[in-house]
Each structure stands twice: as C-alpha cells, then as structure tokens.
Amino acid sequence: MKSPTGITIWKDAEALAIAAAHFFVTECQRCMAKKENFVVALSGGTTPKRLYQLLASLAFSRNIPWNKVFLFWSDERFVPHTDTDSNYRMVKENLLDHIAIPAENVFAVPVNSTPKKNAKEYEAAIEKKIRNKNIVFDLVILGLGDDGHTASLFPGTSVLKEKKRYIKEVWVEQKQNWRISFTLPLINHAAQILFLVAGKEKATILADILHAKKVRPALPAQLVNPVKGTIYWMLDEEAAAKI
C-alpha cells in the first residue's frame, strides 16, 4: 500500500465529518478551476452519513456548484433503492433530497435485474460518462470495516483478484447478500482517495494497515494503491488510538 499523503486526527466523529466537508468543498473548487466539473464516488456506511448532512446544509452547499458535480457510488447492496439497507437511500435522504443537483448527474447503482447484469450496466455507464482513462474519478470516498474491507471488497473474495473489470458483483458470505462494487483497478485510478474512519472498533485494524503490518493474504484496504493519485486518511481519536 502506498504511504498516505496525509493523516489527520479529529476529536470525534462530528469533528471528522466537518473536516471532511471542508475537504470536499476545497477539492471541488480546485477541480472545477481546471476542468469545470467534479466527479465523485460516495461511500455507504454510518461514518459518511454526517458528512452528507453537512454537505446538504447551507454553510457548505452554497459553495458547491451542484450542477457541475457528478455523483456515483463505490458500492451498493443488492436491494431496492427504497430498502433501509440501500446506500443510495441513505445518500438520498441525507444529501440528494436537500440540494439542487440535476437528476442526470446522479448515477445510482442499478439493482433491477441480476447482480451480474446490473454490475455490467453500471460499468458501461461509467465508461460512457467519463472519457479520461488515466484519472477516472476526482475523489473516491471510502470507509473501513473492522475486518479490513473497503467498499464491498471483503477479505477472501475473488473480486480482489480482478484486473480488468471496473465494476463487479460480489457475494459476501459473512453478510449473506450480494453487493455491486468498484474494483481495485477503478479505485486505484482515482486522483484522490479519502478514507473516513471513526470508532474504537476500527483502532486495531487501522493500526495494522497504516503501519503496513504484513498480513497474508493482504487486507483489502491494503490493496488500495493509486497509480497516480493520492490517499488521505481522516480519523477520529478513537479510531486513531493505536497508530
């Protein structure tokens, strides 16, 4: 794993979310100064929820030209978008319903067919929309599970060996459900990767990852190694307790 460009530690999850919201706005403005749009992959899970609420608030939203922002999802549970487990639903309720973003700028993961077919559909949508193959996403937001997974790349799953596909369906045995996820080739072509990690239950696995502790096989988060991009870690004090 490439050494992170920056590690910042914040008092608690709220301070972490505020810092991440400032980071989002700064990166958005920087990218738009160069190419007039900002292409982002969002993360599901509990940690980013407060970030999305903040981005929807006037204090941050007025500094984001949402009509030039394109939103994707780094992974999705294979459930209807109305399901309480849906990453899309979480983002919709906490962000999309409160901002003036064009519908055509929002690229939810399709979940209306089979995992395999919908994964191919999402991959095609990404390839059609984004032409620059060297840097695909301006920002990919990721979380970290206490088992070392990120997006829906779980330890021991065959998707970790994928070399060509950008999007892949994943059966997660421990969760007993299907997921659709970005693969490592897509994540590792991002310009910026931002890990958001909060909570004491993440402290041990985070220390292993950041100290490059050798684990065989490597933890999924240790395989995040951008080709040209940079990695940032934003942590709360509980998650950072052992680093």
158, 168 Cβ separation under 8 angstroms: no
User: The pTM is what?
Assistant: 0.95
Q: What is the pLDDT of residues 164-194, one digit of tens each?
A: 999 999 999 988 999 999 999 999 999 999 9
CA distance 241 to 227: 30
Q: What is the pLDDT of residues 95-153, one digit of tens each?
A: 999 999 999 999 999 999 999 999 999 999 998 887 655 567 999 999 999 999 999 99
pLDDT for residue 84: 96
What single-letter DSSP state applies at residue 5? S
pLDDT for residue 211: 82
Segment 58-73 shows an average pLDDT of 97
72, 41 Cβ separation under 8 angstroms: yes
User: Burial, 58: exposed, middle or buried (Cβ in 10 Å; 0-12, 13-18, 19+)?
Assistant: exposed
**What pLDDT band is residue 218 in, cutting at 50, 70 and 90?**
confident
Element housing 186 (H / E): helix 184-187
pLDDT for residue 129: 82
Q: Is the pLDDT of residue 213 over 90?
A: no
